[in-house]
Chain A
Amino acid sequence: MKTYMRPMTGWWRRNPFYLWYTLREWSSFFLTAYALVLLYGLARLSEGEAQYEAWRASLASPGSLVFHAAALLLVLYHAWTWFKVMHKTLPFLRLGGRRVPDPAIFGSGVASAVVLSLLLLWVLA
């Protein structure tokens, strides 16, 4: 049986909000690809030094750098929106009998991300 499907071509260009939404959704492709890059690196690591070093050299190629720069921007935007909607995706949080206000949930999310990220950089640098 063939059912009617509402045409959807170009809907995401009609409104700036949809455009930003679509841009954010693209982070899922980049995040998946990044996980595969790491998985491939892990496989090379298990094979030995020469194979691992070849993978590491490929990370410094222009194509890889452009990919990671794009992934960084999109995943950063994903992170921002993830915390932005967290007051809707989490169950109501109560502190001292009162509901935690939405900006506090957003703020603590961003603050945790910043602290964890700086900690990661500090440990390695």
Chain B
Amino acid sequence: MKRSNRPIFWSLFGAGGMLSALVGPMLIFITGIAVPLGLLVPRETMSYERMLAFAQNGFAKIAILAVIGLFLFHGLHRIYHCLHELGLPLGHGWMAVLHGLAAVGTLAAAYLLTVIG
């Protein structure tokens, strides 16, 4: 019998859901609102030097990869179901395409993190 790939993608979906529930709102607030406006957090928090040093740290690399990769797997998995519910049933082939896109995004992030040094 062919083994289902569901447990793998379900775990990635679940991990992304948990990570985004725990830190998603605060991350969006910090990088998208607080830092650009200099609200509560100084603008230099995301200066080139600081972000470069951050992305070169081993633990930070794992955190960045987890945030980008898991958010993509969670988001794209749910977009499939969301479109179905809004009257656009895409079919299983499209689910593979969306998971593939999430994988490409994750690999791109991993590649960039190794290039940064």
Q: Interface on A for B, CB 8 Å cutoff?
A: 5, 8-9, 12, 22, 25-26, 28-29, 31-32, 34-39, 42-43, 45-46, 49, 52-53, 56, 59-60, 64-65, 67-69, 71-72, 75-76, 78-79, 82-83, 89, 109, 112-113, 116-117, 120-121, 124-125
Contacts and interface: CB of A to CB of B under 8 A. Distances in A.
B62 interface: no
Given A38-B31, A42-B55, A67-B32, A29 B82 contact: yes
A22 B23 contact: no
Contact of A68 (B21, B23, B33, B81): B33
A72 B29 contact: yes
15 contacts: A8-B87, A9-B87, A25-B78, A39-B109, A59-B32, A59-B36, A65-B37, A68-B31, A72-B33, A83-B21, A113-B23, A116-B22, A120-B27, A121-B40, A124-B45
A84 to B, nearest CB: 10
Given A45-B51, A60-B36, A120-B27, A75 B79 contact: no
Given A9-B87, A28-B79, A124-B30, A78 B20 contact: yes
Interface of B: 14, 17-18, 20-33, 35-37, 40-42, 45-46, 48, 51-52, 55, 64, 67-68, 71-72, 74-79, 81-82, 85-87, 89, 105, 108-109, 112-113, 115-116
Contact of A31 (B51, B64, B75, B113): B75
Contacts, number: 156
Nearest to B16: A31
Question: Which applies to chain A's interface (DSSP): helix, strand, loop or mixed?
Answer: helix
Contact of B41 (A22, A39, A125): A125
A25 B82 contact: yes
Given A32-B75, A39-B105, A60-B36, A121 B113 contact: no
Contacts of A112: 22
A25 B85 contact: yes
A42 B79 contact: no
A53 B25 CA distance: 24
